[in-house]
Amino acid sequence: MIELSGVRWERRAGAFTLDVPRLLLREGITVMAGANGSGKSSLLQLLATAEFPDKGGIRYGIMSGDRDLAAIRASIGYVPTGLELYEDMRMERLLRYLSELKGEAGRAETDRVIGLFQLEPYRRRAIKTLPQGIRQRIALAQSVIGSPDYLFLDEPLNALDSLERLRLIRFLASYARGRAVVVSTHELNEWEAWASRILWLADGKPQFHGTPQAWTSSLPGSVWGGSVSPERYRELPGGNLLQVRPELDCLSVRLLAPDCPGPEFSVQEPTLEDAYFLRSRARLRN
Ligand SMILES: Nc1ncnc2c1ncn2[C@@H]1O[C@H](COP(=O)(O)OP(=O)(O)OP(=O)(O)O)[C@@H](O)[C@H]1O
């Protein structure tokens, strides 16, 4: 378990403050959501000990950041966004080198993570010659060298194709048994079946932390779905639309509204993403 208490970190000369009075991150996948600039990457940087807060502290089980930094770092895997890899190195050499830095000498661990992320065909390729999705898989592979207890992944699905995205999510779901995995994302629904907890940040502060069930219940509004004609569609309030899909001679519409928008509509189970819209909209209105 990771425990943050009284954490404050000012960035941009105080124009932004990450402010986390208390937060407990448990085993399983914690999926972190929030608007651009809400502080997701900043929080991951602190968790990964790439940066340090101005105030407060972070404990990892019985280890605390100010006393056990080396041991904590040895139990952390981290993928920031835009991780710069050693461009001229061959992929296998890079992973060997990073394995050795993490105290995992020998080929076995390198071979394991190469297999895990289907990187076999790229062993002898220089990093700079590889496409973005493969580089992302290498970034992910380096993070699980030594099977760390804590994994912090900033938008890990970036640049991956749909099969790789699903493969990674499934891998993380099993990896997170007995370990804490924190991921940031702008696509909550992809994690729907796998998230243990949702953490929502706004303006540098956690606004919600709890189970997906709690996230999609007690919402300030409802989600409605129905099929409408193109004429009727034009009458609907545009600001609250979630999804529009053409059908044979009508449009299938999903929208947010406090009350039923018309006889064509029925109330729908909200998705994680719907709940994000409802909660964000309610917050902006208050
Ligand atoms: N290297 C940096 N130096 C100074 N300020 C920074 C730096 N990186 C980010 N910030 C600032 O910290 C604040 C939070 O940014 P952060 O990247 O943590 O948000 P985010 O939720 O991850 O955003 P996004 O969804 O766009 O990735 C922003 O005001 C941003 O401008």
Complex-level ipTM beyond the 0.90 threshold: yes
Q: Which residues of 14-23 are buried (b: 16+ CB within 10 A; e: fewer)?
A: eebbbbbeeb
User: What token pair was written down for 228?
Assistant: 């409408």
* pLDDT score, position 113: 96
Domain spans in the chain, listed from the N-terminal domain onward: 2-211, 220-269
CB 47 within 8 A of CB 157: no
User: Does the pLDDT value for residue 127 go beyond 90?
Assistant: yes
Q: What is the pLDDT, as a whole number, of residue 172?
A: 97
pLDDT at 57: 94
Give the percent of the chain with pLDDT over 70: 100
SS3 236: coil
- Residue that the structure tokens 């997701």 belong to: 40
> C-alpha distances in angstroms, 100 versus 96, 112, 227?
6, 14, 59
In angstroms, what is the span from residue 33 Cα to ligand 1's centroid? 14
CA of 187 to the centre of ligand 1 (A): 18
Q: Kindly state if the Cβ of 42 falls inside 6 Å of ligand 1.
A: yes
Note the pTM of the prediction, 2 decimals.
Answer: 0.92
Q: How far, in Å, is the centroid of ligand 1 from the Cα of 220?
A: 28
Q: Is 73 in the pocket of ligand 1 (CB under 6 A)?
A: no
Which tens digit of pLDDT belongs to each residue from 151-198?
A: 999 999 999 999 999 999 999 999 999 999 999 999 999 999 999 999
Is residue 13 lining ligand 1, measured as CB closer than 6 Å? no
Compute, in angstroms, the gap from residue 204 CA to the centroid of ligand 1.
Answer: 10
Ligand 1 atom showing the smallest separation from residue 11 Cα: 5
- With beta carbons less than 8 A apart as the criterion, state whether 180 and 25 touch: yes
Are 42 and 9 in contact by the 8 Å Cβ rule? The answer is yes
- With a 6 Å cutoff on the Cβ, whether 12 touches ligand 1 is yes
Residue 158 DSSP symbol: T
Between these two residues, 239 and 228, which has the higher pLDDT value? 228
pLDDT tens digit sequence for 3-47 = 999 999 999 888 999 999 999 999 999 999 999 999 999 999 999
To test ligand 1's pocket by mutation, which of 10, 16, 81, 186 has the most ligand atoms within 8 angstroms of CB?
A: 16
Comparing 238 with 138, the larger pLDDT belongs to 138
- Ligand 1 center from residue 41 Cα (angstroms): 6
- In this structure, the residue with its CA closest to atom 10 of ligand 1 is 11
* Local confidence band at 268 (pLDDT 50, 70, 90 cut-offs): very high
Cα–Cα distance for residue pair 89/78, rounded to 1 Å: 20
Asked if residue 36 has its Cβ within 6 Å of ligand 1, the reply is: yes
pLDDT > 90: what percent of the chain?
A: 80
Instruction: Output the residue whose Cα is nearest ligand 1's atom 30.
Output: 37
155 CA: nearest ligand 1 atom:
27
- Give tens-digit pLDDT for 41-67: 999 999 999 999 999 999 999 998 778
Residue 238 has pLDDT above 80, yes or no: no
CATH fold of 2-211? Rossmann fold (3.40.50)
Half-sphere exposure (Cβ direction) of 66: Cα atoms closer than 13 Å: 7
Q: Report whether residue 37 contacts ligand 1, using a CB cutoff of 6 Å.
A: yes
CA of 42 to the centre of ligand 1 (A): 6
> What whole-number distance in Å separates Cα of residue 252 and Cα of residue 229?
9
> What average pLDDT does the structure give for the chain?
93
pLDDT at 82: 78
